[in-house]
Chain A
């Protein structure tokens, strides 16, 4: 219960932050050259000045900036994200259409990075300074240094163009008319390369943390005691070490939820995934202010939610935290 209260208080504390961000972005985008009607005219392939003026009136772009900002925030209070000029429908609908792909991609990448990073980290720590450790650590460094979009492109060249094992992009093959499990498998198949691409750098980070924490914990007194008590090494690792090493890794997930969304802009662009990251990029380019602010709102909620879960996990992993705070 206390955990919940703590987490809720954090949530409450982040609301002013969120409003600050939204207002800041709103004003920032006013400075950009061109507005959404310019972008619309480009999409239409031309038109005359009277038409542009009419469209500006229609979307309320002829009102003063402060009036529009006030209007926006007031609507936000009533949980109305507004209407997208570019997509011609409510922002909430536009975002909901794109959210599943991004959530799926992020969850898959995080799980992959977490699982693989943990396994490799444990392996490396247990063979510290011997060849498996060297190999794994080197791989980790290389993964860390690889630009994700480049890895994605090269993966397409190798696995899609030359070997033809995996699809080069897209989010499932609609024309095949799959349903149920087949459709799920089809989507999973399409997400293999994007997941690897987005997860790579996080894999490298988790691997490093896991290895370091393992080494640190292995040298602590209670582990030595446990060993001395004659517990087998596997049980020691499973029971004590993992539990302690998980702490920094879980913390990192909370910190990196935002970074990951940024990374998905590029990865979704490489693999032509209909996700939130690409929507964000498109709405910047198309000056679709309502959609952009909506995405920021949703992604901030997402980050806050992830941190909420992290807090809960924290409490489970380390009961001392409650008394410590």
Chain B
């Protein structure tokens, strides 16, 4: 409750929450406002916004309604962002917790692997995964999760390293509680807040990665995605720049919202730093 009050005190954090809610509402309202297939042929291609009252945001090079794709795309972006973040955080916590809790050889081995992943540009690895496993929505989401976990692992490990020697951990250990109990019940809850705050960064990056993939025309073409629209608009950039411009604004606002929420959470959960 205290955290919520702290959160609500910041106008920026509230704005962020508002933006995220607005995008979520767009995604929820999409099937009501645009019940037809957003990828269906709606009219003549490349109509400018405002030219035709039926298409307030115009049509894309395939004659599809841009407004419908923006609304349905909100769903896809949030879904990918959320699911990929979940995967990345789960892998990251597992690796980080094991490395930080046990230390020694396990730590060295796990951190070697983490380092290996960090040496490799994550976008390059994602490209490779898409080339190998194809580009349907599920593969892409898993792929993004699979390349985004190393920072989470490092963060979790650092928290575990400092928490495992604390008194409450030692006390629990003396009571003869098992490792699983120690990790899951004692250390993890205390290590979680900074990791959750960082999850907002992972989510923002996930949405960006998906849009970059679809910009290169490597994402799933069967779902209305904002990045797909930007990529399609590239061929007509010099004349019909609106095709690329509109979805870009949508991505920008979504990521802005997610990062503001993350920052608000950070201030609320780490009150000693608030007001900085």
Does a CB–CB distance below 8 Å link A and B in the complex?
yes
B118 within 8 Å of A (CB atoms): yes
Asked if residues A300 and B120 are in contact (CB atoms below 8 Å), the reply is yes
Interface residue count on the A side (C-beta < 8 Å)? 49
In the complex, the chain B residue whose C-beta lies closest to that of A129 is: B275
In the complex, the chain A residue whose C-beta lies closest to that of B234 is: A153
1/0 per residue A215-232: CB within 8 Å of B? Answer: 110000000000000000
B55 within 8 Å of A (CB atoms): no
Query: What band does the interface of chain B fall in when counting residues whose beta carbon is under 8 Å from A?
Result: 35 or more
Asked if residues B121 and A261 are in contact (CB atoms below 8 Å), the reply is yes
Grouping DSSP codes into helix (H, G, I), strand (E, B) and loop, the B interface class, with mixed when no group exceeds half, is helix
A103 within 8 Å of B (CB atoms): no
Asked if residues A145 and B112 are in contact (CB atoms below 8 Å), the reply is no
Asked if residues B132 and A258 are in contact (CB atoms below 8 Å), the reply is no
Chain B residues within 8 Å of A21, by CB: 116, 119-120
Asked if residues B122 and A258 are in contact (CB atoms below 8 Å), the reply is yes
- In whole Å, how far is A269's beta carbon from the nearest beta carbon of chain B? 7
- In whole Å, how far is B78's beta carbon from the nearest beta carbon of chain A? 15
Asked if residues B121 and A299 are in contact (CB atoms below 8 Å), the reply is yes
Count A-B pairs with CB separation below 8 Å.
137
Q: How many angstroms from the CA of A141 to the CA of B261 in the assembled complex?
A: 12
Q: How many angstroms from the CA of A262 to the CA of B122 in the assembled complex?
A: 6
Q: How many angstroms from the CA of A212 to the CA of B248 in the assembled complex?
A: 29
- In whole Å, how far is A135's beta carbon from the nearest beta carbon of chain B? 13
Asked if residues B238 and A161 are in contact (CB atoms below 8 Å), the reply is yes
**A144-B259, A147-B208 given as contacts; is B234 within 8 A of A14 (CB)?**
no
Which segment of B31-39, B88-96, B98-106, B211-219 sits at the interface?
B211-219
Grouping DSSP codes into helix (H, G, I), strand (E, B) and loop, the A interface class, with mixed when no group exceeds half, is helix
Q: How many angstroms from the CA of A17 to the CA of B237 in the assembled complex?
A: 43
In the complex, the chain A residue whose C-beta lies closest to that of B276 is: A215
B141 within 8 Å of A (CB atoms): no
Asked if residues A147 and B124 are in contact (CB atoms below 8 Å), the reply is no
Among A146, A153, A157, A265, the residue within 8 A (CB) of B127 is A265
In the complex, the chain A residue whose C-beta lies closest to that of B242 is: A157
List 5 extra interface pairs beyond A29-B131, A32-B132, CB under 8 A: A16-B112, A17-B116, A144-B255, A146-B248, A303-B119
B interface vs A, CB < 8 Å? Answer: 112-113, 115-116, 118-124, 127-129, 131-133, 204, 208, 211-212, 215-216, 227, 230, 233-234, 237-238, 241, 244-245, 248, 251-256, 259-260, 276
A interface vs B, CB < 8 Å? Answer: 14, 16-18, 20-21, 24-25, 28-29, 31-32, 141-142, 144-150, 153-154, 156-157, 161, 212, 215-216, 255, 258-263, 265-266, 269, 280-281, 284-285, 292, 296, 299-300, 303-304
